[in-house]
Structure formats: structure tokens, C-alpha cells
Amino acid sequence: MKGLLLNFIKKHRLSQFTTRRFPADFVGGYPGRFKCKFMFPQDASISVEHLRFDAEEMKRCFHPETRYVTIIRQPWNHFLSAYNCLPDWEKRTLNCGGMPTVYIQQGEKMDPIKFLSKAAVLLNPSVPFYFRYFSVCLNPFMTRLLDKKISKFQSHDLGIDPMLNDANEIESQIQELDKNMDLVMLLEYFDESLILLKNLLCFDWDILNGLGHLNKRYYKRKTLQNEEDKKNFKQLYNIDIALYDYFNRTFWKRVEDYGRERMAKDLEILRKRQNKPIIYPSHRSMPKVDSQLKAEIQSYMFENNGKCLYPGWKEPLYIP
């Protein structure tokens, strides 16, 4: 997804209008809700970096005709993929501590089902980055978060409180999100999603070159066998389950509106292009930010569960 947008940016030479990551891989004060004052440059019109969606705030600083797009994944597939993203968990240095990842750091071995049962009991929103309990740091002396991070709650990054339990409020917030998103893509139907995205943004076909599933991983699939496991999963992922069910319905309504026959023809064209070469532009360096604004960003991040103690450091260190 990000590669596609970078391809578009490169082709049309739009890098100067693209947000720059600060700090690390984040934009707008993540994990706090997006704030315009924490976006660099201030006149950016494109963002492909990691942020927490806030429609009202983003409409203040992006062009009125901006299109808002995201991609979500079936929650159980998302959980398994995240768990299996990196092998040998017990050998990794885990940043942010917290439960249940600390068990792995202490040497306890778990399969995904056991890990899920621990998380369901011990998850605590007061723990920094509680919504990212798969965060890892491969090098204990790095002074910033690395790219190897997997979001636990998709709902969190889309601006919904991941600890909500009221079904009516969850539905209301999902409907509000739907009003502000121009397209919610589904990873399980990535090709169809790309066609809808191409149509929405009027992409040329060459923008889609090489965009097959570039990060496929192969691991042993597991299923939820007993009622207790299913209960644990639904307890943890109640909002993500509702989110996926809702946008799975709206997705296929979009496909119907696009036309099934037209979609089938376009899928043939797309799949012939997926092996064509693609060259992504390199990441731009982080912008220079004055010390006062750095302090404001760090304070905002800390206030929103973004405080993190890095291995080897006595104090939380976020901003280089």
C-alpha cells in the first residue's frame, strides 16, 4: 500500500509535498491523535506514514479535496501474522516491557493461543503502547523505534478507543469513520482493493506495477478450537471484529457498484503487471525541528501512551 503511493509520488515528483516522518516512523504526534502542528512540512498534501486518524483535525491542514484511504485485515489473520512476524521471540529485546510480552523476555515459550490467553487477562491500557503489544526492538542501543512494529488494534490507529465495550457506541464510531474514509481496502482482497483505489485516485496502470503481496510469510495456521479461546479473542478484538465486519459489507457494495464484469477484466490486467519491476524512492530524512517543538511533541506522545523506556537508557528516549 505504502509502496504504491511512493510509486505515485516518485512518478509525479511530489516528494516535496509529502509529510516527513518525525519522530521515527510517525507523523502528527502518534500515538496521540493527529495534530497539524506536529506535521512536517506544514504545507504537505500527502501522507503515507504512520499516524492516528482524526478526520476533523486532518481536514484543517490538508486540501479540501484530499482522499482518505486505509487498509484493514481480518482480525484473526492479523493476530497470527503479527505473532509470527518475527521468529524466536524469546531471543528478542522487547521495548516498552508490559504484559504479556515480558513473559517471553523472561524465557517462557508460548504458541499464539497461549499468548492470546495471557493478553486477554493482563492487557492494561495504562501500559505504554498497550495497543502494540508485539513491539520489538532488534538492537538494544538504537535510539528510536524500528520498523519492526505490528499494531495490535487496527481500531486504535483509525481513531477509535480500543478499550470500548458498548456495542452501540462502537457501531456509531465505525459509522462516523465510514463517513470520513473514501475507501477502506481489505488485505484479503488486495487485488480488488487496488482496482477500487486506482478508480478512486485515477491512477495510471503503471503505478500498480509490482504490487503483488510483497511480504508473504509462511507459518503454521492455527484456529480457535474451544469456547474459552474464542471468548479471549473476542474480548481483545471486539472492535476490530466489528470494524472488519462492517467494512467487509461496504467493500462488496463498492465492488457491485463498480461492476463485477468490469472488475474481472481489470483484475486480469492487474495480475499481468504484478511481476513488472518497481523502484520505490528512498525515505526522506527526518526534518530539523527546534527543541521547544520537540519537547511539545514528546509530551503529547507521552500523554497518549507513547512513553517508552528503551533498553540501555535510564530515561524514556523518543526524539533524536
pLDDT in tens for each of the 320 residues of the chain? Answer: 777 787 788 888 887 788 888 876 788 998 899 999 999 999 888 898 889 999 999 999 999 999 999 999 999 888 777 666 654 444 444 445 444 555 666 666 667 777 777 776 666 666 666 666 544 333 232 222 223 333 357 898 999 988 888 999 999 999 999 999 999 999 999 999 999 999 999 988 888 877 665 555 555 667 777 888 888 888 888 999 999 999 999 999 999 999 999 999 999 999 888 776 665 555 556 788 888 998 898 889 888 877 764 444 344 444 43
CA dist., res. 7 & res. 4, Å (int): 5
CA dist., res. 265 & res. 76, Å (int): 31
pTM of the model: 0.81
> What is the DSSP code (8-state) at residue 32?
S
What type of residue is 191? D
Of residues 320, 295, 69, the one with CA closest to residue 193: 69
Q: Are 266 and 199 in contact (CB under 8 A)?
A: no
**Which helix (H) or strand (E) is 195 found in, with range?**
helix 190-201
The three-state DSSP-derived secondary structure of 218-269 is CCCCCCCCCHHHHHHHHHHCHHHHHHHHHHHHHHHHHHHHHCHHHHHHHHHH
Q: Are 191 and 78 in contact (CB under 8 A)?
A: no
SS3 177: helix
Q: Are 7 and 214 in contact (CB under 8 A)?
A: no
275 to each of 140, 162, 186, 209, 210, how far by Cα in Å?
37, 38, 21, 7, 5
CA dist., res. 171 & res. 140, Å (int): 41
160 to each of 53, 165, 237, 241, how far by Cα in Å?
9, 11, 12, 13
User: 44 is written with which cell numbers?
Assistant: 504537505
**Cell 533498553 -> residue:** 311
User: 220 is written with which cell numbers?
Assistant: 503454521
Beta strands in 151-191 (DSSP E): 183-186
